[in-house]
Amino acid sequence: MDLENATPAELEEISDAAGRELARRQTVLAVQREVRAVLQGARDHGAISTPAPGAQWVQPAGAHDAYLAGDEVTHEGRRWVSMADANVWEPGVSGWRPLAEDGSYGEWVQPARAHDAYRDGDVVLYDGRVYRSLIDGNAWSPDVYPGGWLLITEHDDAAGEDDDHQEPDPGPLTWEPGRAYSIGELVVYSGVVYRVVQAHQSAEHWLPPEQPALYQPVEE
């Protein structure tokens, strides 16, 4: 769109359209936050159950028992993490991302919509290489949009190779929701260092001191 040559009327029309779209997105975001707050509150008060990490996926009957972003389930022999609140979709169809059982990185999967696109910091295995997403809303593969991904390392599936090679320890990082954590990683939350004991996608309602199945405090 050539804005330099646009007429005042055309610029005004573009501005109005942008304003309407911004208002729509803000409304959608506000509704999503409200839905999550209601569902999380119901879980906290025991009105609806909170699925245990890795529990068998069950088809929700409606929004009242739908999965929240960060919930982990097992479905058809694979582990999945929910990428959306009020998630009633079946893993492998939409709204879910596969996780590796052994703490390694999950394979990149084409996002269906914006709600399950990759976030800044998400780590995936793609075409034998490990990549970290550099942007939010990342719906492109590393070869389609290289600027959206950082190549971390080549991935070696051969057992026993490079057993003596160790990456330098970067030290514990500050815990954040919406991150893909692997077994053995160290995170800091409220001044306490925790070790990740189960690969998962972190979520706001899974705080390290409240999830011993996911995090164990490191004794100094």
DSSP 156-175: --STTTTTT--------EE-
Q: For residue 147, which phi and psi values (nearest 5 degrees)?
A: -65, -15
CA distance 96 to 89: 8
What is residue 163's predicted lDDT score, i.e. its pLDDT?
A: 46
- Which residues does residue 130 pair with via DSSP β-bridges, in sequence order? 125, 153
**Per-residue model confidence (pLDDT) at position 57:** 93
How would you label 141-166 residue by residue, b for 16+ Cβ within 10 Å and e otherwise? Answer: bbeeeeebbeeeeeeeeeeeeeeeee
The C-alpha atoms of residue 210 and residue 88 are separated, in whole angstroms, by 25
* pTM exceeds cut of 0.85: no
Task: For residue 110, give the nearest of 78, 140, 146, 80 by alpha carbon.
Answer: 140
Cβ pair 97, 106 in contact under 8 A: yes
When mean pLDDT is compared over 56-60, 85-89, 186-190, 214-218, the highest value belongs to: 56-60
Report the DSSP beta bridge partners of residue 200.
Answer: 181
pLDDT of residue 102: 58
Q: How many angstroms separate the CA atoms of 18 and 103, rounded?
A: 43
pLDDT tens-digit profile of 170-206?
Answer: 567 889 888 878 777 888 888 888 888 877 778 888 8
pLDDT greater at residue 133 or residue 28? 133
From the centroid of its chain, how far is CA 59?
21
Question: Rounded to 5 degrees, what are φ and ψ at 22?
Answer: -65, -45
Domains and CATH numbers, the chain: 55-154 (2.10.10.90), 173-217 (2.10.10.20)
Higher local confidence (pLDDT), 79 or 70: 79
Q: What is the DSSP secondary structure assignment for residue 217, as one 8-state letter?
A: E
Determine the pLDDT at residue 166: 47
Q: Scanning the structure block, which residue is given the tokens 């260092």?
A: 193
Rounded Cα gap, residues 203 and 83, in angstroms: 10
